[in-house]
Structure 1
Amino acid sequence: MSTNTRWLTLMMGLLLLFPSLSIAQTDDRVEVRSSSIPRGSAEEINQPEASLIKFEETFDGITIPADWQIIDNDGSGSAWEFRQGVDFLSGDSVRPEAGQSFFFSNFSNANANGLIDEWLITPLLPEVENGDQIVFYAGAIDGDFKDSLKVWVSTTDSNPASFTEIAYFKAEGPIGAWNRYAFDVSAFAGNQIYAAINYYVVDGGPNGTHSDNIWFDHLTLENPNYARLQVIHNAADPAAASVDVYVNDG
Protein backbone atom coordinates (compact mmCIF):
# COMPACT_ATOMS: atom_id res chain seq x y z
CA MET A 1 0.00 0.00 0.00
CA SER A 2 1.44 3.38 -0.99
CA THR A 3 2.04 6.19 1.47
CA ASN A 4 -0.73 8.29 -0.11
CA THR A 5 -3.21 5.41 0.13
CA ARG A 6 -2.36 4.76 3.80
CA TRP A 7 -2.79 8.47 4.55
CA LEU A 8 -6.18 8.57 2.83
CA THR A 9 -7.33 5.44 4.68
CA LEU A 10 -6.25 6.94 8.01
CA MET A 11 -8.10 10.20 7.36
CA MET A 12 -11.27 8.37 6.34
CA GLY A 13 -11.08 6.31 9.53
CA LEU A 14 -10.70 9.43 11.66
CA LEU A 15 -13.69 11.06 9.97
CA LEU A 16 -15.80 7.96 10.67
CA LEU A 17 -14.76 7.94 14.34
CA PHE A 18 -15.08 11.72 14.74
CA PRO A 19 -17.75 13.05 12.33
CA SER A 20 -17.23 16.63 13.54
CA LEU A 21 -13.56 16.56 12.52
CA SER A 22 -12.75 18.74 9.51
CA ILE A 23 -9.58 19.37 7.53
CA ALA A 24 -8.43 22.98 7.84
CA GLN A 25 -8.37 24.95 4.60
CA THR A 26 -6.46 28.16 3.89
CA ASP A 27 -8.68 31.18 3.13
CA ASP A 28 -6.70 33.91 1.39
CA ARG A 29 -9.66 36.27 1.14
CA VAL A 30 -9.09 39.76 2.54
CA GLU A 31 -10.92 41.27 5.50
CA VAL A 32 -13.04 44.39 5.08
CA ARG A 33 -13.14 46.55 8.22
CA SER A 34 -16.24 48.56 7.33
CA SER A 35 -19.61 47.19 8.35
CA SER A 36 -21.29 49.48 5.82
CA ILE A 37 -19.90 48.74 2.35
CA PRO A 38 -20.91 51.02 -0.56
CA ARG A 39 -21.66 49.06 -3.72
CA GLY A 40 -22.40 50.07 -7.30
CA SER A 41 -20.21 51.43 -10.06
CA ALA A 42 -17.86 54.38 -10.36
CA GLU A 43 -18.94 57.43 -12.34
CA GLU A 44 -16.60 58.69 -15.05
CA ILE A 45 -16.27 62.48 -14.68
CA ASN A 46 -14.63 64.89 -17.12
CA GLN A 47 -12.87 62.20 -19.10
CA PRO A 48 -11.67 63.65 -22.43
CA GLU A 49 -12.59 61.90 -25.64
CA ALA A 50 -8.96 61.87 -26.75
CA SER A 51 -5.60 62.87 -25.31
CA LEU A 52 -2.01 62.77 -26.41
CA ILE A 53 -0.59 59.85 -24.41
CA LYS A 54 3.08 60.49 -23.64
CA PHE A 55 3.55 57.60 -21.19
CA GLU A 56 1.31 54.68 -20.24
CA GLU A 57 1.68 51.75 -17.84
CA THR A 58 -1.13 49.17 -17.62
CA PHE A 59 0.89 46.54 -15.70
CA ASP A 60 0.27 43.93 -18.37
CA GLY A 61 2.28 41.22 -16.61
CA ILE A 62 2.51 39.39 -13.29
CA THR A 63 5.79 40.90 -12.08
CA ILE A 64 6.39 44.50 -11.03
CA PRO A 65 8.11 46.49 -13.81
CA ALA A 66 11.79 46.80 -12.92
CA ASP A 67 11.79 50.60 -13.19
CA TRP A 68 9.01 51.12 -10.64
CA GLN A 69 9.93 51.52 -6.96
CA ILE A 70 8.05 50.58 -3.79
CA ILE A 71 9.14 52.30 -0.58
CA ASP A 72 7.94 51.27 2.88
CA ASN A 73 8.33 54.77 4.32
CA ASP A 74 6.56 53.97 7.61
CA GLY A 75 8.91 51.08 8.41
CA SER A 76 6.11 48.58 9.02
CA GLY A 77 7.84 45.88 7.00
CA SER A 78 5.07 45.71 4.40
CA ALA A 79 3.81 47.94 1.61
CA TRP A 80 2.03 47.89 -1.76
CA GLU A 81 1.39 44.37 -3.10
CA PHE A 82 1.28 43.50 -6.81
CA ARG A 83 -1.89 41.47 -7.35
CA GLN A 84 -3.86 39.93 -10.21
CA GLY A 85 -7.03 40.00 -8.15
CA VAL A 86 -8.34 40.52 -4.63
CA ASP A 87 -11.27 38.63 -3.13
CA PHE A 88 -12.85 39.92 0.06
CA LEU A 89 -14.56 37.99 2.86
CA SER A 90 -17.63 40.10 2.05
CA GLY A 91 -17.90 38.28 -1.30
CA ASP A 92 -16.81 41.32 -3.30
CA SER A 93 -13.69 41.44 -5.47
CA VAL A 94 -11.28 43.69 -7.36
CA ARG A 95 -9.87 42.91 -10.78
CA PRO A 96 -7.39 44.95 -12.88
CA GLU A 97 -8.64 48.12 -14.54
CA ALA A 98 -6.26 47.33 -17.41
CA GLY A 99 -3.58 44.75 -18.06
CA GLN A 100 -3.08 41.72 -15.82
CA SER A 101 -2.14 43.24 -12.46
CA PHE A 102 -2.57 46.17 -10.10
CA PHE A 103 -1.27 47.43 -6.76
CA PHE A 104 -3.13 46.77 -3.52
CA SER A 105 -2.69 47.71 0.13
CA ASN A 106 -4.74 47.91 3.30
CA PHE A 107 -4.98 48.64 7.01
CA SER A 108 -2.77 45.70 8.00
CA ASN A 109 0.28 47.57 6.65
CA ALA A 110 0.21 50.30 9.32
CA ASN A 111 3.18 50.60 11.64
CA ALA A 112 2.98 50.34 15.44
CA ASN A 113 1.94 54.01 15.66
CA GLY A 114 -0.95 53.59 13.22
CA LEU A 115 0.82 55.38 10.36
CA ILE A 116 0.55 54.14 6.78
CA ASP A 117 3.10 55.78 4.48
CA GLU A 118 3.75 53.68 1.37
CA TRP A 119 5.26 55.08 -1.82
CA LEU A 120 4.91 53.82 -5.36
CA ILE A 121 7.29 55.71 -7.67
CA THR A 122 7.24 55.77 -11.48
CA PRO A 123 10.26 55.63 -13.75
CA LEU A 124 11.50 58.91 -15.20
CA LEU A 125 8.67 60.27 -17.35
CA PRO A 126 8.92 62.32 -20.57
CA GLU A 127 9.39 66.08 -20.49
CA VAL A 128 6.30 67.88 -19.25
CA GLU A 129 4.51 70.45 -21.41
CA ASN A 130 1.86 72.97 -20.46
CA GLY A 131 -1.47 71.18 -19.94
CA ASP A 132 0.01 67.76 -19.19
CA GLN A 133 -1.70 65.61 -16.59
CA ILE A 134 -0.81 62.62 -14.46
CA VAL A 135 -3.81 60.30 -14.75
CA PHE A 136 -4.45 57.04 -12.92
CA TYR A 137 -7.21 54.79 -11.63
CA ALA A 138 -7.76 53.93 -7.98
CA GLY A 139 -10.46 52.73 -5.64
CA ALA A 140 -11.21 52.04 -2.00
CA ILE A 141 -13.89 50.55 0.23
CA ASP A 142 -15.02 54.10 1.13
CA GLY A 143 -17.04 52.84 4.08
CA ASP A 144 -16.59 53.49 7.79
CA PHE A 145 -12.79 53.73 7.65
CA LYS A 146 -11.54 56.10 4.95
CA ASP A 147 -8.35 55.71 2.91
CA SER A 148 -6.35 58.56 1.40
CA LEU A 149 -3.70 59.10 -1.27
CA LYS A 150 -1.09 61.75 -1.91
CA VAL A 151 0.39 62.53 -5.32
CA TRP A 152 3.96 63.83 -5.52
CA VAL A 153 6.26 65.02 -8.32
CA SER A 154 10.07 65.26 -8.47
CA THR A 155 12.20 66.86 -11.18
CA THR A 156 15.52 65.61 -9.78
CA ASP A 157 15.50 62.01 -8.56
CA SER A 158 13.31 59.31 -7.00
CA ASN A 159 14.27 59.96 -3.37
CA PRO A 160 11.06 60.75 -1.40
CA ALA A 161 12.78 63.81 0.09
CA SER A 162 13.04 65.32 -3.42
CA PHE A 163 9.29 65.29 -4.14
CA THR A 164 6.73 68.10 -4.07
CA GLU A 165 3.19 67.25 -2.97
CA ILE A 166 0.54 68.21 -5.54
CA ALA A 167 -2.57 66.44 -4.17
CA TYR A 168 -3.95 64.84 -1.00
CA PHE A 169 -7.43 63.31 -1.17
CA LYS A 170 -9.79 60.64 0.10
CA ALA A 171 -9.99 57.65 -2.23
CA GLU A 172 -13.51 56.92 -3.41
CA GLY A 173 -15.49 53.68 -3.73
CA PRO A 174 -17.57 51.71 -4.21
CA ILE A 175 -15.92 48.41 -3.42
CA GLY A 176 -14.36 46.78 -6.49
CA ALA A 177 -14.72 49.89 -8.69
CA TRP A 178 -12.12 52.04 -10.42
CA ASN A 179 -12.22 55.85 -10.28
CA ARG A 180 -10.27 58.03 -12.69
CA TYR A 181 -8.09 60.76 -11.16
CA ALA A 182 -6.27 63.47 -13.14
CA PHE A 183 -3.77 66.04 -11.84
CA ASP A 184 -2.32 68.95 -13.80
CA VAL A 185 1.49 69.08 -13.80
CA SER A 186 1.96 72.21 -15.93
CA ALA A 187 3.97 73.75 -13.09
CA PHE A 188 6.78 71.33 -13.98
CA ALA A 189 6.82 72.15 -17.72
CA GLY A 190 10.24 71.82 -19.32
CA ASN A 191 11.34 69.04 -16.96
CA GLN A 192 11.26 65.29 -17.01
CA ILE A 193 9.57 64.10 -13.84
CA TYR A 194 9.08 61.22 -11.47
CA ALA A 195 5.56 60.78 -10.06
CA ALA A 196 4.73 59.07 -6.78
CA ILE A 197 1.46 57.61 -5.52
CA ASN A 198 1.56 57.66 -1.74
CA TYR A 199 -0.89 55.67 0.40
CA TYR A 200 -0.88 57.92 3.46
CA VAL A 201 -3.10 57.49 6.52
CA VAL A 202 -2.74 58.78 10.07
CA ASP A 203 -4.42 56.77 12.85
CA GLY A 204 -4.79 53.74 10.62
CA GLY A 205 -4.40 50.04 11.21
CA PRO A 206 -6.74 47.41 12.71
CA ASN A 207 -7.63 49.64 15.68
CA GLY A 208 -7.40 53.04 14.01
CA THR A 209 -10.17 55.42 12.98
CA HIS A 210 -9.06 55.32 9.33
CA SER A 211 -7.84 52.83 6.67
CA ASP A 212 -9.49 49.81 5.09
CA ASN A 213 -8.49 48.55 1.61
CA ILE A 214 -7.22 50.48 -1.43
CA TRP A 215 -6.11 49.68 -5.00
CA PHE A 216 -4.24 51.47 -7.83
CA ASP A 217 -3.75 50.80 -11.58
CA HIS A 218 -3.09 52.22 -15.07
CA LEU A 219 -1.05 55.42 -14.94
CA THR A 220 -0.53 57.79 -17.87
CA LEU A 221 1.15 61.11 -18.58
CA GLU A 222 -1.14 62.75 -21.11
CA ASN A 223 -2.30 66.05 -22.52
CA PRO A 224 -6.04 66.52 -23.15
CA ASN A 225 -5.40 69.79 -25.02
CA TYR A 226 -4.11 67.88 -28.04
CA ALA A 227 -6.51 66.52 -30.66
CA ARG A 228 -5.25 63.68 -32.86
CA LEU A 229 -5.85 63.85 -36.59
CA GLN A 230 -4.76 61.36 -39.21
CA VAL A 231 -3.96 62.72 -42.64
CA ILE A 232 -4.30 60.18 -45.44
CA HIS A 233 -2.47 60.88 -48.70
CA ASN A 234 -1.30 59.09 -51.80
CA ALA A 235 2.32 57.96 -51.72
CA ALA A 236 4.50 55.49 -53.54
CA ASP A 237 5.82 54.27 -50.19
CA PRO A 238 3.01 52.45 -48.31
CA ALA A 239 4.75 53.22 -45.03
CA ALA A 240 4.24 56.93 -45.75
CA ALA A 241 0.54 56.60 -46.58
CA SER A 242 -0.58 58.25 -43.36
CA VAL A 243 0.83 60.61 -40.79
CA ASP A 244 -0.41 61.49 -37.31
CA VAL A 245 -0.78 65.20 -36.59
CA TYR A 246 -1.40 66.56 -33.09
CA VAL A 247 -3.14 69.91 -32.86
CA ASN A 248 -2.63 71.85 -29.64
CA ASP A 249 -5.95 73.38 -28.56
CA GLY A 250 -4.38 75.08 -25.54
Structure 2
Amino acid sequence: MKKITFLMVAFLATSLTFAQVLEIEEGFEDITILTDWDFVNASTDADNASSSWAQPDGTVFEAHEGDPGAYISVNFNSTTGVGTINNWAILPELTLSNGDELKFWSRTVDGQAFPDRLEVRISPDGSATLPIDDGSGEDVGSYSELLFSINPDLEGGDAYPDVWTEYTVLVDGLAAPTMTRLALRYYVTEGGPSGSNSNFIGVDTLSLTTFPLTVGENAFDGFSHFVNANDEFVLRASTQMENVVIYNTLGQQVINTKLANTNEAVNVAALNSGVYIATVSINGASKTVKFVKK
Protein backbone atom coordinates (compact mmCIF):
# COMPACT_ATOMS: atom_id res chain seq x y z
CA MET A 1 0.00 0.00 0.00
CA LYS A 2 2.91 2.34 0.64
CA LYS A 3 4.15 1.81 -2.91
CA ILE A 4 0.71 2.56 -4.34
CA THR A 5 0.44 5.77 -2.30
CA PHE A 6 3.88 6.90 -3.43
CA LEU A 7 3.09 6.16 -7.06
CA MET A 8 -0.14 8.16 -6.99
CA VAL A 9 1.67 11.12 -5.42
CA ALA A 10 4.28 10.84 -8.18
CA PHE A 11 1.48 10.73 -10.75
CA LEU A 12 0.02 14.00 -9.48
CA ALA A 13 3.38 15.71 -9.16
CA THR A 14 4.55 14.86 -12.68
CA SER A 15 1.20 15.56 -14.31
CA LEU A 16 0.94 19.06 -12.85
CA THR A 17 4.05 21.19 -13.38
CA PHE A 18 3.92 24.95 -12.86
CA ALA A 19 6.16 27.93 -13.38
CA GLN A 20 5.25 31.31 -11.96
CA VAL A 21 6.22 34.79 -13.10
CA LEU A 22 5.71 37.96 -11.06
CA GLU A 23 4.50 40.26 -13.85
CA ILE A 24 3.49 43.31 -11.79
CA GLU A 25 4.62 44.41 -8.34
CA GLU A 26 3.30 47.90 -7.60
CA GLY A 27 3.50 49.94 -4.40
CA PHE A 28 2.14 53.17 -5.97
CA GLU A 29 4.96 55.38 -4.74
CA ASP A 30 4.50 57.63 -7.80
CA ILE A 31 1.49 57.01 -10.01
CA THR A 32 2.70 59.49 -12.66
CA ILE A 33 5.03 56.74 -13.92
CA LEU A 34 2.17 54.29 -14.52
CA THR A 35 2.12 55.09 -18.23
CA ASP A 36 0.99 51.59 -19.20
CA TRP A 37 -2.10 51.85 -16.99
CA ASP A 38 -5.33 53.57 -18.04
CA PHE A 39 -7.46 55.62 -15.65
CA VAL A 40 -10.94 56.14 -17.08
CA ASN A 41 -13.85 57.93 -15.42
CA ALA A 42 -17.05 56.78 -17.11
CA SER A 43 -19.36 57.95 -14.31
CA THR A 44 -22.48 59.99 -14.91
CA ASP A 45 -21.52 63.63 -15.52
CA ALA A 46 -17.84 62.63 -15.41
CA ASP A 47 -16.82 65.73 -17.39
CA ASN A 48 -17.89 67.94 -14.49
CA ALA A 49 -16.58 65.73 -11.71
CA SER A 50 -13.73 67.06 -9.62
CA SER A 51 -11.86 63.82 -8.91
CA SER A 52 -10.68 60.52 -10.39
CA TRP A 53 -8.08 57.93 -9.38
CA ALA A 54 -5.28 59.89 -7.73
CA GLN A 55 -2.25 59.85 -5.46
CA PRO A 56 -3.52 60.95 -2.00
CA ASP A 57 -1.55 62.94 0.56
CA GLY A 58 -2.09 60.33 3.25
CA THR A 59 -4.22 62.47 5.55
CA VAL A 60 -7.44 60.46 5.19
CA PHE A 61 -5.50 57.31 6.07
CA GLU A 62 -1.93 56.20 5.49
CA ALA A 63 -0.67 53.66 2.98
CA HIS A 64 -0.46 49.98 3.73
CA GLU A 65 3.29 50.18 3.10
CA GLY A 66 5.78 52.95 2.38
CA ASP A 67 5.19 56.69 2.57
CA PRO A 68 1.79 57.83 3.92
CA GLY A 69 0.46 58.68 0.44
CA ALA A 70 1.97 55.70 -1.42
CA TYR A 71 -1.27 54.22 -2.74
CA ILE A 72 -4.00 55.04 -5.24
CA SER A 73 -7.36 56.37 -4.14
CA VAL A 74 -10.72 57.26 -5.60
CA ASN A 75 -13.76 58.89 -3.99
CA PHE A 76 -17.30 60.25 -4.14
CA ASN A 77 -16.25 63.22 -6.28
CA SER A 78 -16.07 60.88 -9.30
CA THR A 79 -19.50 62.24 -10.21
CA THR A 80 -21.64 65.29 -9.33
CA GLY A 81 -24.76 65.52 -7.17
CA VAL A 82 -26.30 62.08 -7.05
CA GLY A 83 -25.13 59.72 -9.77
CA THR A 84 -23.59 56.39 -10.67
CA ILE A 85 -19.85 56.19 -10.13
CA ASN A 86 -18.08 54.11 -12.77
CA ASN A 87 -14.38 54.86 -12.36
CA TRP A 88 -11.68 52.54 -13.71
CA ALA A 89 -8.01 51.78 -13.07
CA ILE A 90 -6.95 49.39 -15.84
CA LEU A 91 -3.77 47.35 -15.54
CA PRO A 92 -1.19 46.87 -18.33
CA GLU A 93 -1.79 44.35 -21.11
CA LEU A 94 -0.37 40.88 -20.45
CA THR A 95 -0.86 37.32 -21.63
CA LEU A 96 -3.16 35.86 -18.97
CA SER A 97 -4.55 32.39 -18.31
CA ASN A 98 -7.23 31.07 -16.01
CA GLY A 99 -5.72 30.62 -12.56
CA ASP A 100 -3.32 33.57 -12.75
CA GLU A 101 -3.35 35.49 -9.48
CA LEU A 102 -4.00 39.16 -8.70
CA LYS A 103 -3.33 40.31 -5.12
CA PHE A 104 -3.91 43.74 -3.61
CA TRP A 105 -4.75 45.48 -0.36
CA SER A 106 -7.71 47.82 0.02
CA ARG A 107 -9.68 49.72 2.65
CA THR A 108 -12.12 52.58 3.13
CA VAL A 109 -12.32 55.32 5.79
CA ASP A 110 -12.82 54.77 9.51
CA GLY A 111 -16.44 54.52 10.61
CA GLN A 112 -17.83 54.11 7.11
CA ALA A 113 -21.26 55.72 6.76
CA PHE A 114 -21.48 55.84 2.94
CA PRO A 115 -20.96 52.38 1.41
CA ASP A 116 -18.28 51.79 -1.25
CA ARG A 117 -17.79 49.01 -3.79
CA LEU A 118 -14.80 47.84 -5.81
CA GLU A 119 -14.92 45.30 -8.63
CA VAL A 120 -12.19 43.36 -10.42
CA ARG A 121 -12.99 42.68 -14.07
CA ILE A 122 -11.31 41.22 -17.14
CA SER A 123 -11.74 41.66 -20.90
CA PRO A 124 -12.26 37.99 -21.85
CA ASP A 125 -11.98 38.48 -25.62
CA GLY A 126 -8.69 40.38 -25.33
CA SER A 127 -9.95 43.48 -27.13
CA ALA A 128 -9.55 45.59 -23.95
CA THR A 129 -12.06 48.16 -25.21
CA LEU A 130 -12.17 51.02 -22.71
CA PRO A 131 -15.44 51.97 -20.99
CA ILE A 132 -16.98 55.19 -22.27
CA ASP A 133 -18.96 57.98 -20.65
CA ASP A 134 -22.33 57.29 -22.31
CA GLY A 135 -24.30 59.13 -19.63
CA SER A 136 -25.51 55.97 -17.87
CA GLY A 137 -22.55 55.28 -15.63
CA GLU A 138 -22.93 51.60 -16.48
CA ASP A 139 -20.70 51.04 -19.51
CA VAL A 140 -18.00 48.38 -19.01
CA GLY A 141 -16.43 48.39 -22.46
CA SER A 142 -15.20 44.85 -23.16
CA TYR A 143 -14.64 44.13 -19.44
CA SER A 144 -17.74 41.96 -19.27
CA GLU A 145 -16.37 39.28 -16.93
CA LEU A 146 -16.74 40.11 -13.23
CA LEU A 147 -14.12 38.22 -11.23
CA PHE A 148 -14.60 39.65 -7.76
CA SER A 149 -16.37 42.38 -5.82
CA ILE A 150 -15.75 43.98 -2.43
CA ASN A 151 -19.13 44.83 -0.88
CA PRO A 152 -21.22 43.81 -3.92
CA ASP A 153 -24.52 44.79 -2.25
CA LEU A 154 -23.32 48.21 -1.01
CA GLU A 155 -23.89 47.34 2.62
CA GLY A 156 -22.87 49.60 5.50
CA GLY A 157 -20.72 48.79 8.47
CA ASP A 158 -17.56 46.84 7.79
CA ALA A 159 -18.74 45.20 4.55
CA TYR A 160 -15.95 47.24 2.99
CA PRO A 161 -13.23 47.05 5.67
CA ASP A 162 -11.84 50.19 7.29
CA VAL A 163 -8.46 48.55 7.86
CA TRP A 164 -6.05 47.47 5.14
CA THR A 165 -7.17 44.01 3.99
CA GLU A 166 -5.54 41.73 1.42
CA TYR A 167 -7.56 40.24 -1.44
CA THR A 168 -6.59 37.46 -3.84
CA VAL A 169 -8.44 37.18 -7.16
CA LEU A 170 -7.95 34.36 -9.67
CA VAL A 171 -8.25 34.99 -13.39
CA ASP A 172 -11.20 33.15 -14.93
CA GLY A 173 -13.43 33.29 -17.99
CA LEU A 174 -10.71 32.92 -20.65
CA ALA A 175 -11.11 30.29 -23.37
CA ALA A 176 -7.31 30.05 -23.75
CA PRO A 177 -4.22 32.08 -22.81
CA THR A 178 -5.10 35.59 -23.99
CA MET A 179 -3.32 38.91 -24.34
CA THR A 180 -5.68 41.06 -22.30
CA ARG A 181 -6.08 43.34 -19.29
CA LEU A 182 -7.50 43.29 -15.77
CA ALA A 183 -9.32 46.30 -14.34
CA LEU A 184 -10.30 47.74 -10.96
CA ARG A 185 -13.74 49.37 -11.15
CA TYR A 186 -14.98 51.73 -8.46
CA TYR A 187 -18.69 51.18 -9.06
CA VAL A 188 -21.22 52.83 -6.76
CA THR A 189 -24.86 53.56 -7.54
CA GLU A 190 -26.58 56.44 -5.72
CA GLY A 191 -23.10 57.87 -5.24
CA GLY A 192 -21.61 61.33 -5.42
CA PRO A 193 -21.40 64.36 -3.08
CA SER A 194 -25.16 64.31 -2.46
CA GLY A 195 -25.66 60.54 -2.70
CA SER A 196 -26.36 58.03 0.03
CA ASN A 197 -23.41 55.86 -1.09
CA SER A 198 -19.69 56.36 -1.89
CA ASN A 199 -16.90 57.77 0.22
CA PHE A 200 -13.15 57.14 -0.25
CA ILE A 201 -11.17 53.96 -0.91
CA GLY A 202 -7.50 53.11 -1.32
CA VAL A 203 -5.64 50.34 -3.16
CA ASP A 204 -2.05 49.42 -2.33
CA THR A 205 0.62 46.71 -2.65
CA LEU A 206 -0.70 45.17 -5.86
CA SER A 207 0.88 42.19 -7.61
CA LEU A 208 -0.01 40.01 -10.57
CA THR A 209 1.51 36.54 -10.91
CA THR A 210 1.08 34.41 -14.01
CA PHE A 211 1.56 30.67 -14.32
CA PRO A 212 2.59 30.18 -17.94
CA LEU A 213 2.99 26.81 -19.60
CA THR A 214 6.38 25.33 -18.88
CA VAL A 215 8.61 23.84 -21.56
CA GLY A 216 7.45 20.42 -20.44
CA GLU A 217 3.76 21.30 -20.75
CA ASN A 218 4.27 22.76 -24.23
CA ALA A 219 6.04 19.56 -25.31
CA PHE A 220 2.89 17.59 -24.53
CA ASP A 221 0.47 19.78 -26.51
CA GLY A 222 -1.76 17.42 -28.49
CA PHE A 223 -0.60 14.33 -26.56
CA SER A 224 -2.99 11.36 -26.49
CA HIS A 225 -2.88 7.68 -25.54
CA PHE A 226 -5.06 4.57 -25.72
CA VAL A 227 -4.88 0.77 -25.85
CA ASN A 228 -5.97 -0.65 -29.21
CA ALA A 229 -7.54 -4.01 -30.09
CA ASN A 230 -4.12 -5.52 -30.72
CA ASP A 231 -3.03 -5.00 -27.10
CA GLU A 232 -0.78 -2.09 -28.08
CA PHE A 233 -0.42 1.00 -25.89
CA VAL A 234 -0.60 3.74 -28.54
CA LEU A 235 1.10 7.09 -27.85
CA ARG A 236 0.72 10.17 -30.05
CA ALA A 237 2.35 13.56 -29.64
CA SER A 238 3.20 16.63 -31.71
CA THR A 239 6.87 16.32 -30.66
CA GLN A 240 9.13 13.27 -30.96
CA MET A 241 8.90 11.09 -27.86
CA GLU A 242 12.01 9.67 -26.14
CA ASN A 243 10.99 7.01 -23.66
CA VAL A 244 8.11 5.33 -21.85
CA VAL A 245 8.24 3.51 -18.52
CA ILE A 246 5.20 1.50 -17.40
CA TYR A 247 4.47 0.49 -13.79
CA ASN A 248 1.84 -1.73 -12.23
CA THR A 249 -0.18 -0.57 -9.23
CA LEU A 250 2.39 -2.02 -6.86
CA GLY A 251 4.92 0.44 -8.22
CA GLN A 252 6.88 -2.30 -10.04
CA GLN A 253 8.42 -1.39 -13.41
CA VAL A 254 7.09 -3.76 -16.08
CA ILE A 255 8.15 -2.07 -19.32
CA ASN A 256 10.91 0.43 -20.17
CA THR A 257 11.12 1.26 -23.87
CA LYS A 258 12.97 3.87 -25.90
CA LEU A 259 10.85 5.86 -28.37
CA ALA A 260 11.87 7.84 -31.46
CA ASN A 261 8.69 9.03 -33.19
CA THR A 262 5.56 11.13 -32.68
CA ASN A 263 3.35 8.03 -33.13
CA GLU A 264 4.37 4.92 -31.20
CA ALA A 265 2.76 1.57 -30.32
CA VAL A 266 4.12 -0.37 -27.33
CA ASN A 267 3.20 -4.07 -27.11
CA VAL A 268 1.48 -4.74 -23.75
CA ALA A 269 0.06 -8.16 -24.62
CA ALA A 270 2.18 -9.84 -21.95
CA LEU A 271 0.75 -7.71 -19.16
CA ASN A 272 -2.02 -8.96 -16.92
CA SER A 273 -5.38 -7.23 -17.08
CA GLY A 274 -5.56 -4.18 -14.84
CA VAL A 275 -4.60 -0.55 -14.31
CA TYR A 276 -1.11 0.65 -15.26
CA ILE A 277 0.73 3.90 -14.97
CA ALA A 278 3.00 5.15 -17.76
CA THR A 279 5.57 7.95 -17.68
CA VAL A 280 6.38 9.36 -21.13
CA SER A 281 9.43 11.58 -21.78
CA ILE A 282 9.71 14.33 -24.38
CA ASN A 283 12.60 16.80 -24.58
CA GLY A 284 13.66 15.97 -21.03
CA ALA A 285 10.17 16.61 -19.65
CA SER A 286 7.79 13.90 -18.46
CA LYS A 287 4.07 13.28 -18.27
CA THR A 288 2.40 10.51 -16.30
CA VAL A 289 -0.88 8.91 -17.39
CA LYS A 290 -3.01 5.94 -16.41
CA PHE A 291 -4.37 3.27 -18.75
CA VAL A 292 -6.32 0.02 -18.47
CA LYS A 293 -5.19 -3.27 -20.04
CA LYS A 294 -8.20 -5.54 -20.58
Q: TM-score, normalised by structure 2?
A: 0.50
- 1:186-197 matches, cutoff 5 A: 186-188=172-174, 189-197=176-184
- Aligned length in residues: 169
CA contact (8 A) 2:54 2:74 kept: no
Partner of 1:162, secondary structure, is coil
Distance 2:89 2:55 in 1: 14
Among candidates 80, 83, 103, match of residue 55 of structure 2: 83
Q: Which residue of 2 aligns with 1:131?
A: 99
- 1:12-161 matches, cutoff 5 A: 52-61=21-30, 63-74=32-43, 75=46, 76-83=48-55, 85-88=57-60, 93-97=61-65, 101-125=70-94, 127-141=95-109, 143-154=112-123, 155-160=126-131, 161=141
Among candidates 187, 211, 219, match of residue 200 of structure 1: 187
Deviation at 1:218, TM superposition (A): 2.7
Q: Which residue of 2 aligns with 1:39?
A: none
- Output the amino acid matched with 1:77: A
After superposition, the Cα gap between the structure-2 partners of 1:84 and 1:110, relative to the gap in structure 1 and judged at 3 Å, is closer
Distance 2:107 2:129 in 1: 25
Higher RCO (CA-CA < 8 Å; seq separation 6+): 1
Distance 2:189 2:89 in 1: 18
CA contact (8 A) 1:52 1:223 kept: yes
Deviation at 1:179, TM superposition (A): 1.4
Q: Quick check: 1:185 aligned with 2:171?
A: yes
Aligned residues: CA RMSD = 2.8
Q: Quick check: 1:163 aligned with 2:143?
A: yes
Distance 1:64 1:80 in 2: 17
Matched-pair identity in %: 29
- Output the amino acid matched with 2:145: E
After superposition, the Cα gap between the structure-2 partners of 1:179 and 1:128, relative to the gap in structure 1 and judged at 3 Å, is same
Distance 1:193 1:202 in 2: 27
Deviation at 1:123, TM superposition (A): 1.1
Partner of 1:108, secondary structure, is helix
Partner of 2:32, secondary structure, is coil
- Output the amino acid matched with 1:172: Y
Distance 1:84 1:107 in 2: 14
After superposition, the Cα gap between the structure-2 partners of 1:70 and 1:112, relative to the gap in structure 1 and judged at 3 Å, is same
What per-residue deviation string (whole Å, max 9, x for no partner) do you get for residues 96-132 of structure 1?
535773211222222344221111111102x223421
Partner of 1:163, secondary structure, is coil
Q: TM-score, normalised by structure 1?
A: 0.58
Say which is worse superposed, 100-109 or 68-77, in terms of deviation: 100-109
- 1:190-229 matches, cutoff 5 A: 190-222=177-209
Structure 2: unaligned runs, 5 residues or longer: 1-19, 132-140, 152-158, 212-294
After superposition, the Cα gap between the structure-2 partners of 1:178 and 1:203, relative to the gap in structure 1 and judged at 3 Å, is same
Q: Quick check: 1:173 aligned with 2:145?
A: no
Deviation at 1:64, TM superposition (A): 4.1
- Output the amino acid matched with 1:219: L
Q: Whose strand proportion is higher, 1 or 2?
A: 2
- Output the amino acid matched with 1:168: S
Say which is worse superposed, 63-72 or 74-83, in terms of deviation: 74-83
